[in-house]
A and B are shown apart, each in its own frame.
Chain A
Amino acid sequence: DVKVTQSSRYLVKRTGEKVFLECVQDMDHENMFWYRQDPGLGLRLIYFSYDVKMKEKGDIPEGYSVSREKKERFSLILESASTNQTSMYLCASSPAGSNQPQHFGDGTRLSIL
């Protein structure tokens, strides 16, 4: 069974702080993804990665960066947190290739004060 683990379920930070969200998957998946979920907007892709040290911008990358130093770990970084980055953040992974479902972690509810 695929397990995607996000390091924190709830996080409260202050504006201007640098915030790290960590995600680890245990199925040796090549692809990893970061989304944010906001009411009425569904899931929006922030960044994704096909392989170690590879990263691609998603639909809303502004204000975020990512790091993938190891295959199983994909980190999302908020360079200087702002209140409009308060959201639910979801990490997902999938095997390489097309027509594969993504498997999600339980999410991190991030509040920026």
Chain B
Amino acid sequence: DQQVKQNSPSLSVQEGRISILNCDYTNSMFDYFLWYKKYPAEGPTFLISISSIKDKNEDGRFTVFLNKSAKHLSLHIVPSQPGDSAVYFCAASGNTAGKLIFGQGTTLQVKP
């Protein structure tokens, strides 16, 4: 049973436009959410996180939105750059053990 789902395997946007990556979860006990970026042949890199007590967190060009009632989070990248082309994973946690549940990933392509 997939507790964290990224329903779009891929996304293509033009450089300078907004990229919106989506993630849904089923477990209402999740209280911490993260986004990771992964280039080929490298490990995932932590991008941004949000606690369930907030509905928005911003870091430069990256903003994560959390809608707890819909069990949905999204990552906005504005403006998108070709270097943002990578696989993006969302992850969620609901315990004190540091264990994360990951989505399947979305491949973002930003075209020059």
Tell which of A68-76, A77-85, A90-98 binds the partner: A90-98
Q: How large is the interface on B (under 10, 10 to 19, 20 to 34, 35 or more residues)?
A: 20 to 34
In the bound complex, CA of A43 to CA of B43 (Å): 11
In the bound complex, CA of A4 to CA of B90 (Å): 21
Q: A42, A98, A104, A106: which contacts B96 (Cβ < 8 A)?
A: A98
Q: Tell whether A97 pairs with B41 under 8 Å between CB atoms, given A40-B104, A42-B104.
A: no
Q: B41, B49, B51, B105: which contacts A101 (Cβ < 8 A)?
A: B49
Does A12 lie at the interface of the complex (its beta carbon under 8 Å from any beta carbon of B)? no
Q: B95, B98, B105: which contacts A42 (Cβ < 8 A)?
A: B105
A47 to chain B, nearest CB (A): 11
In the bound complex, CA of A90 to CA of B87 (Å): 15
Does A48 lie at the interface of the complex (its beta carbon under 8 Å from any beta carbon of B)? yes
- By a beta-carbon cutoff of 8 Å, the part of chain A in contact with chain B is 4, 9, 31, 33, 35, 40-45, 48, 50, 56, 58, 90, 92, 94-107, 109
